[in-house]
Amino acid sequence: MDIIRVEGGHPIEGRVCVSGAKNSALKLMAATLLAPGKTTLTNVPNISDVHVMGKVLKGMGATIEVVDEHSLVIDTSAVDQWEAPYELVAKMRASTAVLGPLLGRMGKAKIAMPGGCNLGARKIDMHILGLEALGVKFDTEHGYIYADAGEGMHGETVTLEFASVGATENLIMAAVRAKGTTVIDNAAREPEIVDLANMLNEMGAQITGAGTPVVTIEGVSELHPVTHRVIGDRIEAGTFIVAGALMAGDAGVEVVGFAPHHLGMVLKKLELMGIDFERIEGGVRVYRVDTIRPVDIQTLPFPGFPTDMQAQVMVLSALADGSSVITENIFENRFMFASELVRMGANIRIESHHAMIHGVKGFSGAQVTSPDLRGGAALAVAGLIADGTTEVSAIHHIDRGYEHFVKKLVELGAHVERVTVPDPIDD
């Protein structure tokens, strides 16, 4: 198996350019189903989740030309299947994003029940309830969801119980081909949703209000292919900003390729923790902080603090001069990461969806296991400041969302390597 080995205590500095946003690229790839022909996506991250979504589209009859490492031409002209099979959906929950586009394109869909990171009950009830309001009929059996739009979808006002990103995206992608006007109330406001709406509008859709709690979609009869650039990954940016706050040399670490306002609440909380950074063109420069101040954080939908940055900031909080509380409101299993950080010397107590964190003087290198995508990256970042060597296993989680993670750290001067070791289970 592959592991990431980190030798702690070495300062990092220089410039890192983040890749395209995973959570945007996957939905944009799904949206190409709505416009028969060749759509070109640029700034696509070269990560395993993108490869899985490519297989989902190919299984439906699409062809994908890899122009370069970050550009894809997706031809959906010959799409004639409407099934996302179990073996792919089980690997990545985001593959359920083809549900809305398939209903818009073909009027029906068959989707396996979702998988992905083990973060708890990530139900798609709201997707189904919203699409039912547009006239879609659903059946579930043998682990599959069957959806049929019958005579076609019609516009309707849909109020989401929770500002779900996935439900908002699926509803937008279905509604662009529904007859009449669809209004999504309590819509998610994430930058990735704005990116999706922008591309769909370039394709000929009529979407207004993306990025606000009320999104209005006027249905259109057809969409056409376009060329579109994926926005930068704000979560990858946040991960490297935390790494810089822990171990930046005198020159600091420049993190570029993203829009800082997409990380507004994260940067605000980091300021409260005493992290020193400045805005530069296309990103921020962050400096190492000697004394980290404690802070209380609760994860919320955008523009609140993102759940995907919770583990990285917990690393900072675990070294703070005082006690912090992190409240996780999005995923109930997101604190699996905490027990691994405790192995490195952190003092963390979990009570329900609260993490009580008492700052310690430092971490000790240890063997730890990635519990999920963001937690795995955060453990590697913790290893940068730990005394001794940290070995992070189950790094397939990290591969799902971080492109060339080890290489980027090495280019900043970190003593990090990816190595293949015997799987202890096989011994």
pLDDT in tens, 151-178: 899 999 999 999 999 999 999 999 999 9
For residue 325, give Cα distances in angstroms to 267, 270, 321: 18, 14, 13
pLDDT at residue 331, rounded to an integer: 76
Q: What is the DSSP letter of 224?
A: -
Annotated binding site: 22-23, 93, 308, 330
> Is 80 exceeded by the pLDDT of residue 120?
no
Please give the torsion angle defined by the CA atoms of residues 210, 212, 216 and 217, in that order, rounded to the nearest 10 degrees. Answer: 20
pLDDT single digits (tens) 401-418: 999 999 999 999 999 999
What lies within 8 Å, CB to CB, of 379 at 6+ separation is 337, 340, 341, 344, 368, 370, 390, 392
pLDDT single digits (tens) 47-102: 999 999 999 999 999 999 999 999 999 999 999 999 887 788 777 776 788 999 99
What SS3 class is residue 233? coil
Residues of the chain within CATH 3.65.10.10 domain(s) are 2-19+232-420, 22-218
| 17 catalytic per annotation | no
What lies within 8 Å, CB to CB, of 145 at 6+ separation is 99, 109, 110, 111, 112, 113, 124, 128, 138, 139
pLDDT single digits (tens) 292-310: 999 999 999 999 999 999 9
Q: Quote the tokens at residue 279.
A: 């805005």
* The model's pTM: 0.94
The sheet with strand 276-280 has its strands ordered as 12-17, 248-256, 283-287, 276-280
Active-site option among 34, 56, 62, 117 = 117
CATH topology of domain 2-19+232-420: UDP-n-acetylglucosamine1-carboxyvinyl-transferase; Chain (3.65.10)
Judge residue 38's burial from the number of C-beta atoms within 10 Å of its C-beta, 0-12 exposed, 13-18 middle, 19 or more buried.
middle
The CATH H-level superfamily of 22-218 is: Enolpyruvate transferase domain (3.65.10.10)
Report which of residues 22 and 142 the model is more confident about.
Answer: 22
For residue 312, give Cα distances in angstroms to 16, 287, 333, 420: 17, 16, 16, 25
For residue 47, give Cα distances in angstroms to 67, 234, 322, 379: 16, 16, 38, 19
Q: Rounded to 5 degrees, what angle do the CA atoms 417, 418, 424 make?
A: 125
Beta strands in 247-327 (DSSP E): 248-256, 276-280, 283-287, 296-298, 323-327
What SS3 class is residue 27? helix
Q: Where residue 117 falls among pLDDT bands split at 50, 70, 90?
A: very low
Count how many residues are written for the chain: 427
Query: For the packed helices 99-106 and 125-133, what is the interaxial angle rounded to 10 degrees?
Result: 30
User: Alpha-carbon distance 254 to 418, whole Å?
Assistant: 23
Cβ–Cβ under 8 Å, residues 277 and 237:
no
Annotated binding site for phosphoenolpyruvate: 22-23
Site of tokens 């923790």: 273
